[in-house]
Amino acid sequence: MLNLYFAIRRRAKFLLILSGFDEIHNFFKFSGAGLDKPRRLVQLLIFSICILAWAITLLDIAIKHQKFNMSSVMSSVKYLIVATALPSLGTQFLSFSILILFYLKHINNKIAESKSLYFACGKNKNVSKQIDDLRVAHNKLSENARLVNRVYGIYLLLPLSYISIHLQMDFFEIIRNIINYTTEFPYESWEGTEWFINIMWIFNEINKLCTYFVVSYLVSTEVN
């Protein structure tokens, strides 16, 4: 529902963000090979956010297959579909952020090189024009960064809250099982695989949260 609402409500601004990237891309005339690095980062991002949850659940089913029947497997699949669809807006946000970060670093490096060349060549007018063009491109990217933040910011609250709640639940589950194990609580037994699965879920959720905040921080630092 959130994805559908976003697609309908924010379609115009989404296309505006894409057109901004097209302008920057045409300005630098990047080849397909030039975008290999951000492409790999986005692929890794999608894999880590969307695929890890499926991999951990399938591993859990394989390890404890005797506890799963068809009904519980279907419930797990439904849960995973929701869990995968919910962060999709966040994945778009992070993909745009990686692209902004890539272009901003490239622009900043070009500006630094052009400034050195400008003073070395006795304030050459052609170099001066290149610096002005780079500044225009930098301003355009900064505007795109603000637009991405304004468009996606409020929608990220739901997936971030979802991740945070699951992280707290995983920690609670581990603490509860440790207490049961150390006090030899008679109604609860903790199998060795529970440690492994719970810790994997914790690493998965921490990976998602760290990705959101680290990428956002890097973009903010680069823009400033």
User: Which bin fits 29, alpha (ψ -120 to 50), beta or left (φ > 0)?
Assistant: left
Looking at residue 155, what DSSP letter applies?
G
Query: Over the stretch 146-193, which tens digit does the pLDDT of each residue have?
Result: 888 888 877 777 777 878 888 888 888 878 777 777 776 655 555 566
Query: Over the stretch 56-106, which tens digit does the pLDDT of each residue have?
Result: 877 777 776 666 666 777 777 777 776 666 677 778 888 888 888 888 888
C-alpha to C-alpha distance for 126 and 128, rounded to whole angstroms: 5
Q: What is the gyration radius of the CA atoms in the chain, in angstroms?
A: 23
C-alpha to C-alpha distance for 73 and 57, rounded to whole angstroms: 10
C-alpha to C-alpha distance for 89 and 92, rounded to whole angstroms: 5
Number of other CB atoms surrounding residue 99 within 10 Å: 23
Looking at residue 10, what DSSP letter applies?
S
C-alpha to C-alpha distance for 100 and 212, rounded to whole angstroms: 14
User: Is 197:56 a contact under the CB 8 Å cutoff?
Assistant: yes
